[in-house]
Amino acid sequence: MRILVAMSGGVDSSVAAALLVQEGHEVVGATMKTFCYKESAGPSRTCCGLDGILDARRVADHLGIPHFVFDVEEEFARDVVDDFVAEYAQGRTPNPCVRCNANTKFRDLLRRGRALGCDRIATGHYARMRTAAAGESHLLRGVDREKDQAYFLWGLPTSLLPLLHFPLGGRSKPQVREQARTLGLATADKPESQEICFVPDGNYRGFLERKLPQLHPALQPGTVVLSDGRVVGDHSGYAGFTVGQRKGLGGGFDRPHFVLEIRPQTREVVVGPMEELYASEMWVEGVNWLTGTPPTPGGEVAVQIRHRAPGVRAAVLEVDEGVLLRFKEPQRAVSPGQSAAMFAGERLLGGGRIARALTPEASALSTPRHGAGHSGMIARDE
């Protein structure tokens, strides 16, 4: 079988490729060139994520497989980067890796894989594929719960599932690193990348300042208020804030305060103590069902609202364009813009974007008041 494997130059995808070679497949490596690093600050004029591409190429050489570079910069800028900027401009916290997987990476791998005569598409994600009794393809969580990346895959087109292969799904990260060393892969001890690929310095604010018009409201000063409306300070632009963050709010509170909500219309950043971060229900929009059909109201799912968090039980109240879920226990930090991935046991059913969180008292009246969240850093899936 000829398999196309996406190689980022990191240790996970390197080992994934190596495992496929060991299994005896005809393996073709590919690196997606998503973003030109020329645009980001830095003294070296290395072009286009060149280091990652060269690392991937070295690994491919070592494995004796061909390696190609696919230029998806244009699609990536349109479908991922522009969305990232637009979401932040509206005071939400996006998941660019989810967006990329759903719109760019896997679709493009499939398209080019077919062009290259490949039968399967593989990546280094920590997730598993299983063929159920009826021949249906199920996407399952990775065995290593620390690394499990099923959360990032809810947006994949259902038609893709039968073609996917995740060689690392049954392994742990330490096993993968060990394997990389055993194989003598140059990338074995490469540190885990922590930042999203197109903001390599992690400075989202600086990135947004380059991408948004200078006078965009998100970059203008505004006030910091409590949920009762009292003004407690000011800020230099809400694009600097992520819902749920504690850092950077200044002192003066008798106990820790967190960002509860960003109101782009008035440029207010709402803050409050921990207990105000809890929500009992949430609306999820832009949903995608890997099962083909949505769950029925009255059922229950396990919903994961951020990377590395466990799935929590939630009742499905309504299903139409979106889904209304009620948590069995109120949840902290339900951040608008972030992904909600829904599971039945190990199996990923689908997911969507959190549109808004409803607090215990507000949901009783069905009048959403604010979203709340917590994520100091945008989770990424590699």
Partner 1 sequence: MGTIYLDHAATTPLRPEVAAAMAPFLQGLVGNPSSVHRWGRAARSALEDARERTAALLRVRSDEIRFVRGGTESVNVAVLGRAAWLRERGDGEVVFLRSRLEHSAVRESMDAAGALGVRSETFEVDASGRADLPTARELSARGVEFVSCQWVNQETGMILPVPDLARECNAAGVPLHVDAVQAAGRIPLELDEHPIAMVSLSGHKLGGPRSTGILVLRKGTELRPLMFGGGQERGLRPGTEDVAGAVGIARALDLSLDTMEVESPRLADLRAWLEAGLVGAIPGTRVHAGGASRAPHILGLGIPDLPMDVLPGALDLEGIGASAGSACMSGSTEVSPTLRALYGDDASGYAPLRLSLGWTTSAEEVSEALRKIPPIVERIRVSAGVTS
Active-site residue list: 100, 197
Write out the binding residues for partner 1, residues 73-132 only, by CB under 8 A: 73, 107, 110-112, 114-117
Q: How many residues make contact with partner 1 (CB under 8 A)?
A: 27
- What's the 3-state SS for 13-67? HHHHHHHHHHCCCEEEEEEEECCCHHHCCCCCCCCCCHHHHHHHHHHHHHHCCCE
| Among 1, 2, 130, 313, contact with partner 1 (rule: CB under 8 A) | 2
- Distance between CA 105 and CA 149 in Å, rounded? 15
Shortest reach from residue 116's CB to partner 1, in Å: 5
Shortest reach from residue 60's CB to partner 1, in Å: 12
Beta bridge partners of 191: none
Torsion sign (Cα): 288, 145, 199, 111? negative
Chain centroid to CA 379: 6
Residue whose tokens read 């349109």: 78
Could you give the C-alpha distances from 64 to 25, 68, 275, in angstroms and in order? 12, 13, 56
Angle (CA) 45-50-56 rounded to 5° is 165
The mark string for 5-44 relative to partner 1 (x by CB under 8 A, - otherwise) is: -----------------------x--x-x-----------
Residue whose tokens read 């598409």: 121
Question: Which of residues 99 and 332 has its CB atom nearest to partner 1 in the complex?
Answer: 99
Shortest reach from residue 41's CB to partner 1, in Å: 19
Could you give the C-alpha distances from 358 to 12, 107, 192, 371, in angstroms and in order? 38, 34, 35, 7
Q: Confirm or reject binding of residue 58 to partner 1 (CB under 8 A).
A: no
Q: Which stretch binds partner 1 (CB under 8 A): 154-162, 207-215, 238-246, 252-260?
A: 154-162
Question: Which of residues 197 and 323 has its CB atom nearest to partner 1 in the complex?
Answer: 197
Coil, strand, or helix at residue 84? helix
The mark string for 134-153 relative to partner 1 (x by CB under 8 A, - otherwise) is: --------------------
Angle (CA) 256-224-209 rounded to 5° is 110
| Among 66, 162, 248, 345, contact with partner 1 (rule: CB under 8 A) | 66
Shortest reach from residue 2's CB to partner 1, in Å: 8
| Among 1, 42, 146, 157, contact with partner 1 (rule: CB under 8 A) | 157
| Among 159, 236, 266, 367, contact with partner 1 (rule: CB under 8 A) | 159
Shortest reach from residue 68's CB to partner 1, in Å: 4
Dihedral pair phi/psi, residue 319, rounded to 5°: -135, 115
- Both structure tokens of 372: 């709340």
| Among 23, 61, 71, 82, contact with partner 1 (rule: CB under 8 A) | 71
Coil, strand, or helix at residue 112? helix
Residue whose tokens read 């879920």: 325
What residues line the site for partner 1 (CB under 8 A)? Answer: 2, 28, 31, 33, 47-50, 53-54, 66, 68-71, 73, 107, 110-112, 114-117, 157, 159-160
